[in-house]
């Protein structure tokens, strides 16, 4: 994967996604072993959307690997207006060794990757949130001990987080259920891809409008805000539509006794999730947030590794982690 871009989880093979997760666990278990792996390399971080977890995890992550970060705000670039995506890409490829971009339109990230000769990492678009999904499955793996065959229920809006959760689940052999209000389902093309890949890995993808059906017997219940960035004008309308999809104690108790609760954060407490659930012992939202750091360090290591850095292979990593 050295030199490749990380735009969509579906761009990779199941074994490559598994490798990144195993590498993330090893990075978390022994961070000092990788502390000089990206020595003197610089990651440009382009933010068209604000973020707490994305900024801190990439900023701290590249530094912990021996490199540097450069934060570029909307005012400094204003992609497509002050300067074209092409010109930004061609400038940055001559000065830094990697680009992380967090923006609205997925096509902007696609263009950045097309024009830049250095690795581009998708920090979030309106279409997908692949780094979040890697942290999600790293957390699920830690908590449940495996991924294959687990029932993972996403309850709420069929958004970018749900789509990446579905893509990653299909790669890893999970049974992903998506419970959304009518009209808020994921698009048919994304679902079809997940079903096709699941046919190879043993994973499944099930869409429903019934949150109780999705939560019943689940190993994981996951939710997200009802109105994402850019949808603020719809927030009040969505509150009424999504209220039956709130993850409260009653819904959560339909899951398995050892089920965990996940949320990509920030959470709107009292809307998509109640305090009873998000503050419960079964809630791993802060472990999940921390795992953004470890999952993204694995991605940067694999994509940006220097010429003389040799990372262990999948079998070697699995032996180290006893998996």
What is the CATH architecture of 9-128+289-321?
A: 3-Layer(aba) Sandwich (3.40)
CATH number for the segment(s) 132-286:
3.40.50.1370
Task: List residues bridging with 283 in a β-sheet.
Answer: 261
Q: Where in the chain are the domains?
A: 9-128+289-321, 132-286
Confidence of residue 235 (pLDDT cuts 50, 70, 90): confident
Contacts of 279 (CB under 8 A, 6+ apart): none
Write out pLDDT tens, residues 63-108.
999 999 999 998 888 787 788 999 999 999 999 999 999 999 999 9
User: One fold for both 9-128+289-321 and 132-286?
Assistant: yes
Confidence of residue 315 (pLDDT cuts 50, 70, 90): confident
Distance in angstroms (rounded) separating the CA atoms of residues 86 and 222: 37
* Cis amide bond preceding 266, omega within 30: yes
Question: Distances from the Cα of 240 to the Cαs of 223, 225, 272, in angstroms?
Answer: 16, 13, 11
Q: Tell me: pLDDT of 112 over 90.
A: yes
Write out pLDDT tens, residues 8-67.
999 999 999 999 999 999 999 999 999 999 999 999 999 999 899 999 999 999 999 999
Portion of the chain with pLDDT greater than 90, in percent: 87
**Is the model more confident about 293 or about 78?**
293
What letters, b where the CB count within 10 A reaches 16 and e where it falls short, cover 189-219? ebbebbeebbeebebbbebebebeebbeebb
pLDDT of residue 308: 52
CB-count burial class (<10 Å; 0-12, 13-18, 19+) for 256: middle
* Catalytic residue set: 102, 129, 132, 224, 264, 292
Distance in angstroms (rounded) separating the CA atoms of residues 124 and 291: 16
Confidence of residue 320 (pLDDT cuts 50, 70, 90): low
Provide the terminal-to-terminal Cα distance of the chain, rounded to the nearest Å: 22
Q: What are the tokens at 42?
A: 């610089």
pLDDT of residue 74: 86
């Amino acid at each position: 994967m050295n030199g490749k871009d990380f735009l969509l989880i579906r761009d990779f093979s199941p074994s490559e996604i598994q490798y990144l997760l195993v590498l993330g666990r090893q990075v978390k278990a022994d961070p000092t072993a990788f502390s000089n792996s990206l020595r003197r390399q610089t990651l440009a971080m382009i933010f068209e959307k604000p973020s707490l977890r994305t900024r801190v995890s990439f900023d701290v992550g590249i530094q912990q690997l021996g490199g540097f970060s450069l934060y570029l705000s909307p005012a400094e670039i204003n992609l497509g207006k002050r300067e074209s995506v092409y010109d930004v890409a061609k400038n940055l490829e001559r000065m830094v060794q990697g680009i992380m971009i967090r923006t609205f339109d997925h096509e902007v990230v696609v263009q950045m990757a097309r024009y830049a000769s250095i690795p581009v990492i998708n920090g979030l678009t309106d279409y997908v949130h692949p780094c979040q999904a890697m942290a999600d499955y790293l957390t699920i793996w830690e908590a449940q001990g495996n991924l294959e065959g687990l029932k993972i229920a996403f309850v709420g809006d069929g958004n970018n987080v749900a789509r990446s959760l579905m893509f990653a689940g299909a790669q890893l052999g999970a049974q992903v259920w998506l419970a959304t209000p009518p009209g808020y389902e994921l698009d048919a093309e994304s679902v079809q891809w997940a079903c096709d890949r699941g046919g190879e890995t043993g994973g499944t993808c099930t869409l429903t409008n019934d949150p109780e059906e999705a939560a019943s017997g689940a190993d994981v219940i996951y939710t997200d805000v009802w109105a994402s960035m850019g949808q603020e004008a719809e927030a009040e309308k969505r509150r009424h539509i999504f209220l039956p999809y709130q993850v409260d104690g009653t819904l959560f108790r339909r899951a398995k006794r050892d089920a965990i609760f996940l949320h990509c954060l920030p959470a709107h407490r009292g809307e998509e999730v109640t305090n009873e659930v998000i503050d419960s012992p079964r809630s791993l939202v802060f472990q999940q947030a921390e795992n953004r750091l470890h999952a993204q360090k694995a991605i940067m290591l694999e994509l940006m590794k220097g010429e003389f850095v040799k990372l262990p292979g999948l079998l070697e990593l699995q032996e180290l982690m006893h998996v």
